[in-house]
Structure 1
Amino acid sequence: MQVANSRRTAILRRDAVLATVPVAVAALLAAAGPASASTIGASGAGDPYFPLSGNGGYHVSHYDLTLRYDISSRHLDGKAVLTARATEKLTRFDLDLNGLKVTRVTVDGRTAHFSRSGQELLVTPSRALAKGREFRVAVSYNGTPKQVTDPDGSADGWIATDDGAFVAGEPQGAMTWFPANSHPKDKSSYDFTITVPKGSTAVANGVLLGQHTAQGRTTFRWRQSEPMAAYLATATVGKFKVDQFTTRDGIKVYNAVDPREANGSAAVLKKLPSVLEWESKLFGPYPFRSAGSIVDHAPSIGYALETQGRPLYDSAPDLSTLVHENAHQWFGDSVSLTAWKDIWLNEAFATYAEWLYSEQHGGDSAQKAFDALYARPASDELWAYPPGDPGSGENIFGTPVYARGAMALHELRKAVGDRVFFRILRAWASEHRYGHGTTAEFVKLAEGESGKDLGSLFHTWLYEKGKPNQA
């Protein structure tokens, strides 16, 4: 994510079909705690920053979302069909859904009892689900989606705009527009069928399978085949100029740009293929079939988001922001978090990609960027808390996570040398491709690749309070 308001500081703007999930999903979900004797799935995935995000007892392998959005009334009709597998015996399980009216729920075609409790949709199937059983839950719902406000005060989720909706789900906004197991631990493939008024465009993740217009409405069908965390899904709607092409590496690019942002974004978007090629050389092959950009006209939102395969911008991005959001396709999207406290693995890596791009394209070196930051006094917000342990959901998009986290990577680069450093980045993206990673795993990888004890370095830059002393 790239930010421009007090929430996610201005330094970051410029200065700074089913897929098999190749991880032990059941083991990851077990972090939410052991199955209870009552065989009721846990109401959260066990994340201390967002206790109710995600759910226990099952893994979703695929979402099939059918949406119809009326822009003038801001009314959404939806049907979500989730293909899942029980990781314990279940007599009841939860889905994350905030607001919206649920009209019917079925499990394997049988009507299921449901109730609501805050952001939890409680589902009781007519028959208990045995551990290991694959099942399908279908939820029909409608209403006016309401954005949520994150702990830092920012808007998140389905955010209405003057011509549609800006749909950005980090960290908890997915539940504002579809029922989900909404934690990065749970990754799935997706199909989207989105119907909007004729003349509007609905842009989701993955590859556009087709579109057709009838009776004054246009339906768009999208498919995201590679595993994706729910917060990275989008269904952004608006008046867009669309440009489609295929790169020489075979990546299908779909750029959707609000006409009001066309002039400001044209030169930067033209560089997208070369940016992806450059990042692929540094980090390894691009992880998805599709790429592109959604440039909306929603400047009051104040941030961009690395929606998988097609980053979402609230206005025309600068080149640094384009580099940042597309670096996330490796770091954050393909390799995902298991806990929000490890958010530096996403944001610091994307910020350091900005520094590297500048260094290798005639701009300031990464060392110069590091030095400028280190010159800040000990009272500066940069040193307010350690990036490896932000302490709360309020802090996960703050300056320390991005900038001091990037400084930690630069210290690692200096300690191991360029050859080993870039080997570490490529190995991280390769070994955890489409899966998950933790800070402990990254430290272990860095030590294994370098043959050095790096514990002190990472402790100083990731976990030590205040301004670190330089070695």
Structure 2
Amino acid sequence: MRTLSLRLLVAAATFTALAACSGGGTVDGAPGGSGVRDPYFPKAGNGGYDVGHYDLTLDYDPDAEHLAGTAVITARAIRDLSAFNLDLKGLDVEKVQVEGRDARFNRAGQELTVRPADELDDGETFRVTVRYSGEPETITDPDGSEEGWLPTADGAVGLGEPTGSMAWFPGSHHPSDKAAYDVAVTVPEGFGVVSNGELRDEWTRGGRTTSTWHTAEPMSSHVVTVAVGDWETGRSTTDDGLPVYTAVDPEQADASRKVLKRLPEIMGWAQEKFGPYPFSSTGAIVDRAEDAGYALETQNRPYFPGAPDAVLLVHELAHQWYGNSVSPKTWRDMWLNEGFATYAEWLWQEDHGGDTARQTFEALYDGTYYDDEAANESVWAFPPADPPDAAHISDAPVYQRGAMVLHRIRETVGDKAFRELLRGWSAAHRHGNADTGDFTAYVEKSAPDEDFTEIWEDWLRGDGRPESR
């Protein structure tokens, strides 16, 4: 079991590598911003500080659906602060301390505003502790999907994209503010817990089981997970020694066995395509099909409701490079997550006896990809780089037309240069954040003799189906 002093040393060491910009002004002693003004989720994240480390201690009773938590958040002020905000939706806050001293706080919607006893100086590293409890909420997204804390048939799962993590722990919940994590979860004996990173310890005492998980690499809160349930776990390594940890609901064990055996093969293929794997372990969580309505690229081990096929496994593992390591600066940049992961599907199929990427591109362009005419037309509903609102950031143009942009780039620069571009992009922003402007600038710098005007204007930002293909 780690001591608090060791956790703080780990947290302090992460600050140089972690953290992107947060919003807020420059007035000394002013409150931090209540959001980073994301174009689709303006209240997500918080200004005035960068988080370096989360230390979450959770106790969950599945029968009562009750969660008790203590969050110790280590952060650095990026200007003088008289107050700062944390995102937390629902739950009852019992106590807040800053640097060990009681702090005043108030609640307004998803905002928990904290007023420390002493103002924080620009550059000061500080620790805030929040004690809270209650029945976590399930959040309905603008697109109608559910996230947050989802009760399941045999436990619960925390899924965070785009803002659901604020339903079960306080923090700065925007992908531009990454951090390292230590998560300790206590549940009744007989239940298991799976989270991100590596399992450090597990013990049972007094009829309760505690599992501790550690994630050293920077992680956005929307890809943090805690999955409570009955699991068949597996541990192995890939050919190059990367630890593999899988957790499968017993009802899905038979259906999952064959595809999960391919995980080392897929990881080897992906590293050849996308470059060195950016994290310290890999794996998968397979729950029951009815437990969630979607798969999610939770860091280190993606979450699946029901056994995935190989193509879906490829998609979510590709996100470890594109979306988790290279994360979006704002939710407008979602196509940089989904376009890349979708194109990874095309590359996998091309390399394994399926349609070539060009054939998939042509089927989408001609309107023959889907059996349903409306689904084919939906690909052209809006430009992938500019969804009309938060309800559409996961729609077909972001995925399919985003992948079509990448294919047009590939055909412009050639296969060899495109492979170098895929690997170079994931390396250039490893463990960081990037937006569409960063990507277009990177492509143009990588191929200075090529003209990408048509791709940017017609395919990336243009309305409707481009005339040329």
Match of 2:14 in 1: 20
CA contact (8 A) 2:97 2:116 kept: yes
Q: What is the number of equivalent residue pairs in this alignment?
A: 452
CA contact (8 A) 2:197 2:216 kept: yes
Alignment of 1:403-418 (within 5 A): 403-418=400-415
Deviation at 1:248, TM superposition (A): 2.6
Alignment of 1:330 with 2:324, yes or no, is no
Match of 2:104 in 1: 113
CA contact (8 A) 1:33 1:46 kept: no
Select the residue among 180, 195, 212 that pairs with 2:186: 195
Question: In 2, distance between residues paired with 1:21 and 1:226?
Answer: 11
Question: In 2, distance between residues paired with 1:459 and 1:444?
Answer: 14
Match of 1:357 in 2: 348
Select the residue among 416, 432, 443 that pairs with 1:435: 432
Match of 1:12 in 2: none
Select the residue among 115, 121, 129 that pairs with 1:124: 115
Letter in 2 for 1:94: N
Letter in 1 for 2:466: P
Residue by residue over 1:351-386, the C-alpha shift from the partner in whole angstroms, topping out at 9 and shown as x without a partner, is 000000000011111111111110127981110111
Match of 2:64 in 1: 73
Deviation at 1:20, TM superposition (A): 3.0
Match of 1:230 in 2: 221
Match of 1:244 in 2: 235
Alignment of 1:3-82 (within 5 A): 17-18=10-11, 20=14, 25=19, 28-29=21-22, 32-36=23-27, 39-82=30-73
Question: In 2, distance between residues paired with 1:381 and 1:389?
Answer: 15
Residue by residue over 1:102-154, the C-alpha shift from the partner in whole angstroms, topping out at 9 and shown as x without a partner, is 00000000000011000000100001001100000000000010111111011
Distance 1:256 1:48, change over 3 A: same
Match of 1:93 in 2: 84
CA contact (8 A) 1:254 1:292 kept: yes
CA contact (8 A) 1:161 1:298 kept: no
CA contact (8 A) 1:166 1:296 kept: no
Deviation at 1:460, TM superposition (A): 1.1
Residue aligned with 1:457, SS: helix
Distance 1:189 1:23, change over 3 A: closer
Question: In 2, distance between residues paired with 1:351 and 1:358?
Answer: 11
Match of 2:377 in 1: 380
Deviation at 1:61, TM superposition (A): 0.1
Distance 1:213 1:23, change over 3 A: closer
Question: In 2, distance between residues paired with 1:97 and 1:169?
Answer: 12
Residue aligned with 1:304, SS: coil
Distance 1:23 1:271, change over 3 A: same
Alignment of 1:289-304 (within 5 A): 289-299=280-290, 301-304=292-295
TM superposition score normalised by structure 1: 0.94
Question: In 1, distance between residues paired with 2:236 and 2:457?
Answer: 45
Select the residue among 163, 179, 183 that pairs with 1:172: 163
* Identity fraction in percent: 50
Deviation at 1:300, TM superposition (A): 5.6
Residue by residue over 1:183-203, the C-alpha shift from the partner in whole angstroms, topping out at 9 and shown as x without a partner, is 000000000111111111111
Distance 1:23 1:463, change over 3 A: farther
Question: In 1, distance between residues paired with 2:90 and 2:295?
Answer: 24
Letter in 1 for 2:14: T
Deviation at 1:456, TM superposition (A): 2.4
Deviation at 1:33, TM superposition (A): 4.3
Match of 2:394 in 1: 397
Alignment of 1:274-353 (within 5 A): 274-299=265-290, 301-353=292-344
Question: In 2, distance between residues paired with 1:414 and 1:21?
Answer: 40
CA contact (8 A) 1:106 1:138 kept: yes
Q: Which runs of 5+ in 1 are unaligned?
A: 1-16
Question: In 2, distance between residues paired with 1:192 and 1:453?
Answer: 48
CA contact (8 A) 2:28 2:80 kept: no
Deviation at 1:21, TM superposition (A): 5.5
Residue aligned with 2:364, SS: helix
Alignment of 1:453 with 2:447, yes or no, is no
Select the residue among 73, 91, 95 that pairs with 1:104: 95
Question: In 1, distance between residues paired with 2:299 and 2:18?
Answer: 22
Letter in 2 for 1:164: G
Deviation at 1:445, TM superposition (A): 1.2
Letter in 1 for 2:414: G
Residue by residue over 1:63-95, the C-alpha shift from the partner in whole angstroms, topping out at 9 and shown as x without a partner, is 000001011101001000000000111111000
| Alignment root-mean-square deviation, CA | 1.5
Question: In 2, distance between residues paired with 1:24 and 1:434?
Answer: 8
Match of 2:7 in 1: none
CA contact (8 A) 1:67 1:195 kept: yes
Residue aligned with 1:385, SS: coil
Residue by residue over 1:283-323, the C-alpha shift from the partner in whole angstroms, topping out at 9 and shown as x without a partner, is 11111001110101143632100000110111111111100
Question: In 1, distance between residues paired with 2:194 and 2:379?
Answer: 36
Q: Which has the higher contact order (CA 8 A, sep 6+)?
A: 1
CA contact (8 A) 1:21 1:435 kept: no
CA contact (8 A) 1:22 1:435 kept: no
Select the residue among 420, 429, 435 that pairs with 1:423: 420
Select the residue among 156, 160, 168 that pairs with 2:147: 156
Question: In 1, distance between residues paired with 2:290 and 2:361?
Answer: 29
Residue aligned with 1:91, SS: strand
Question: In 2, distance between residues paired with 1:250 and 1:124?
Answer: 47
CA contact (8 A) 1:53 1:181 kept: yes
Deviation at 1:246, TM superposition (A): 2.1
CA contact (8 A) 2:196 2:298 kept: yes
Letter in 1 for 2:332: K
